[in-house]
Amino acid sequence: MREIKFRCWHKTEKSMLKPDDKYGTTRDLDCVVYYMQGQPVELMQYTGLKDKNGKEVYEGDIVRVAHDAYESPICVISIKNLVAGDFMLDEAEVKEAEVIGNIYQNPALLKGE
């Protein structure tokens, strides 16, 4: 069974909220509480997978895929079915990929910068 965890991007503070941050977040599910309270946050759910470096992969993460068949090696993770761009990644491909940022803190990565 996959571990249910969340982190969230606070739109006003322009900061990633996760346990032990400076905003008093103490649990993974606090982000869900913030969302339910109407705070300006974007939820990102943990996929249950880790990249090649052992980093947890969340929805909204930008990964570099180590596969020659893809037109672009830069992909955004979607929790629904590990969609990256116009194609789907399987679990093995995610485990061989590398998280290089996320869509909120590193949007320039999507433009190839």
What would the mean pLDDT of 20-47 be, rounded to a whole number? 87
On the CB side of 43, CA atoms within 13 Å amount to 19
Torsions phi, psi of 19, nearest 5?
-50, 140
Q: Give pLDDT, residue 70.
A: 56
Give 92: exposed, middle or buried? Use CB within 10 Å, 0-12, 13-18, 19+. Answer: exposed
Query: Hey, where are the domains in the chain?
Result: 6-111
CA–CA separation, 70 and 44 (whole Å) = 25
CA–CA separation, 92 and 61 (whole Å) = 17
Q: Is the pLDDT of residue 82 over 90?
A: no
CA–CA separation, 113 and 98 (whole Å) = 17
Q: Give pLDDT, residue 86.
A: 58
- Region 6-111: CATH code: 2.30.30.290
Cα–Cα nearest to 27, from 52, 48, 8: 8
Each residue's pLDDT tens digit, 88-112: 777 788 888 899 999 999 988 887 6
What would the mean pLDDT of 18-24 be, rounded to a whole number? 78
Q: Is the pLDDT of residue 58 over 60?
A: yes
CA–CA separation, 54 and 57 (whole Å) = 9
Q: Give pLDDT, residue 23.
A: 76
